[in-house]
Structure 1
């Protein structure tokens, strides 16, 4: 796994705003369970690329794993905006359902 991370980091040294590299690195960190680093790269990715929704899903999932439900909801809400923009109705519905589940968890705490 670290070989892939090393490769992606080298690619980002040449082009620090490469969306594919940023997203890929975020996803690799996410797979490793390093959610803090995943968030750093996913947020950078989302700042340079007009994502259609999947990046926001990954970001929200990282926040959920870290127990930051409010930030997860915010990420899903931004994902819904992008899903609407790109006419991804099923993604919009999925994110709305995830928000309702997360809001239920807030009420239980």
Structure 2
């Protein structure tokens, strides 16, 4: 486990409701090539905060990288919807661009 991941896990133990921390844990696992674990933490992030838009982006990206394009598209469509509901036009645009590149 990397030092950064260790620190993030400690922060998560203190506040498991912080989506920023679970998102950070997901990204660390993704950097290490641990796709399934990264996806699990991205799902955890979205359970904590369904409008944590960049978790949808990363989930779609990871799913697409491992050839799970239909799941990626579904995650990205949900991300666009959540970003629009949250009024985050920038996130909606970035997620839409990734979705278009997969379609």
**Length-normalised TM-score, structure 1:** 0.80
| Alpha carbons of structure 1 residues 17 and 87: separation in structure 2 relative to 1, 3 Å | closer
The two structures, once aligned, show a CA RMSD in angstroms of 1.9
Q: How does 1:78-93 map to 2 (within 5 A)?
A: 78-93=78-93
Equivalences for residues 41-80 of structure 1 within 5 A: 41-80=41-80
Rg (Cα) greater in structure = 1
Moved over 3 A (4+): none
The count of residues paired between Structure 1 and Structure 2 equals 103
Q: Distance in 2 between matches of 1:52 and 1:13?
A: 20
Query: Contact between 1:69 and 1:102, CA under 8 Å: does it hold in 2?
Result: yes
Structure-2-length-normalised TM-score: 0.84
Separation of aligned partners in 2, 1:51 and 1:24: 16
